[in-house]
Amino acid sequence: MKYFWRLAAATLFFEALGLNAQQRLLSLEELNNTPKYVRVEHALPNAPFALKLDLTYHELTKLPPEFAMLQQLQYLDLSENSLNFAPEILAKPQNLQYLYLRRNVIERLHPALCELSHLKELDLSENRITQLPPCVDGWTSLEKLILRRNRLKTVPATFGNMPKLKYLDMAFSGVAVLPPEIGNLSALQELYLNSNRLEKLPAEISRLDSLKILDLSYNYLKEIPKEMTKMSALQELNLRNNPLFRLPEDLSGWANLKVINLKQCQTLSKAEIIRLKEKLPNLKVVH
C-alpha cells in the first residue's frame, strides 16, 4: 500500500497550452526518474502555460521559486504535504480558480493570497490556522470555502464580504464568536459550524436568506436568536448536543423546514418538542 501511494504521488498532471504531446511526455518521464522535490523543481519550467497541477503527497515543505513561472494556472492541489505557511508565491497565478491545501501544517496565510480574485474553491481544512487575514474580502468570486479542523477562535468582520459564497465549512475549528457581518453572505446555501465553542449566535445570521442547510451541532448554545425563524429558505437545521432551554416563540417562518435534529439536547423539555410538532406538523423532528 505504501508503494502504491508513492507511485500515485509521482504523478503530475499538466493540461497545458502551447505544449505538444512529446513535451508533456518528456515532463512526465523526467518526473518518474528524479527525487520528489527535484522532480517538481525540474518539471515546472517545462510547463509555463500549465492550467492544472496536482502535487498531492509530495512531502513538500516549501514551494520552489520556479512555481512563479506558472502564470496561467487555474487548478492547483497541494494537499497532503508538509507546508507550514501559505506563501506569497501562491498568488502568482492570478487566474487561479481552484486551490486545495488540505492536510498540511499551515499556521498562517500570506495576505497576498487575498489578491486571488478569480478563486472559486479554496480548501484549507485540517491545518493549524489560528487566524485569517482581514483582506479575505478580496475573494470576491469564491463559492466554496472549507476551513474545518483548524484552530480558529474568531473570524474577521470582512468575512461577510464574499458575495458569491455558497458553501462554508468551519466545523471542528474552535470558533467561539461569529461576527454580525456573517449575515451579509447573501448567496450562502450551506453552513457547517458543528463542533465549535459557540455559546451565542448573532441575530444577523437570520439575514442568510438563501441558506438551506445549517449545522450547529455540538456547540454550547442555550438558545437561538428569535430572528432565525425568519429564515424561510432553511430546510435542514441540526442543533444536536446543545444545552438548549427553549426554542423561539414564533415558529411560523419555518414553514419550509423539513428536518430539525434535537438529539442529545437534554435540557430541552418535552413540552417544547411537543409544541414544535404541533406548530409544524410536517416537520421531521429527530430527538
Domain that holds residue 173: 2-217+226-239
CATH number for the domain that contains residue 18: 3.80.10.10
Give a yes or no: residue 116 inside a domain: yes
Give a yes or no: residue 252 inside a domain: no
The cell numbers describing 113, all together, are: 493570497
**Category of 70 on φ-ψ map: left (φ > 0), alpha (ψ -120 to 50) or beta:** beta
What is the pLDDT, as a whole number, of residue 12?
41
Distances (CA, A) of 71 to 13, 49, 89, 125, 251: 16, 7, 11, 25, 52
What is the rounded average pLDDT of the residues 182-207? Answer: 97
Give a yes or no: residue 19 inside a domain: yes
Report the candidate in 12, 114, 111 with the shortest Cα–Cα distance to residue 56.
Answer: 12
What is the pLDDT, as a whole number, of residue 65?
85
Give a yes or no: residue 192 inside a domain: yes
Cell 490556522 locates to: 129
Percentage of the chain exceeding pLDDT 70: 84
What is the pLDDT, as a whole number, of residue 19?
39
What is the pLDDT, as a whole number, of residue 49?
78
Q: How does DSSP classify residue 270?
A: H
CA distance 111 to 264: 41
Percentage of the chain exceeding pLDDT 90: 74
CA distance 129 to 148: 10
What is the rounded average pLDDT of the residues 257-264? Answer: 98
Give a yes or no: residue 60 inside a domain: yes
Helix (H) or strand (E) holding 190: strand 190-192
Dihedral sign for Cα atoms in the order 251, 257, 259, 265: negative
Give a yes or no: residue 103 inside a domain: yes
Q: Please tell me the total count of domains within the chain.
A: 1
Average pLDDT of the chain is 86
Please report which confidence band the pLDDT of residue 61 belongs to, taking 50, 70 and 90 as the band edges. Answer: very high
What is the pLDDT, as a whole number, of residue 67?
85
Is residue 15 pLDDT above 60, yes or no?
Answer: no
Give a yes or no: residue 267 inside a domain: no
Express each pLDDT in 116-140 by its tens digit: 999 999 999 999 999 999 999 999 9
Give a yes or no: residue 207 inside a domain: yes
What is the pLDDT, as a whole number, of residue 42?
62
Express each pLDDT in 158-179 by its tens digit: 999 999 999 999 999 999 999 9
The cell numbers describing 135, all together, are: 483582506
What is the pLDDT, as a whole number, of residue 24?
40
What is the pLDDT, as a whole number, of residue 5?
32
The cell numbers describing 253, all together, are: 417562518
CA distance 79 to 59: 10
Please report which confidence band the pLDDT of residue 21 belongs to, taking 50, 70 and 90 as the band edges. Answer: very low
Helix (H) or strand (E) holding 244: none
Report the candidate in 162, 208, 214, 210 with the shortest Cα–Cα distance to residue 193.
Answer: 214
Residue 213 pairs in a beta bridge with: 190, 236
Phi/psi for 277 (5° steps) reads -65, -35
The least confident of 54-68, 154-168, 211-225 is 54-68
What is the pLDDT, as a whole number, of residue 18?
38
What is the pLDDT, as a whole number, of residue 166?
98
Judge contact between 243 and 265, C-beta under 8 A. Answer: yes
What is the rounded average pLDDT of the residues 13-18? Answer: 38
If 0-12 CB within 10 Å is exposed, 13-18 middle and 19+ buried, where does residue 249 land?
exposed
What is the pLDDT, as a whole number, of residue 144?
98
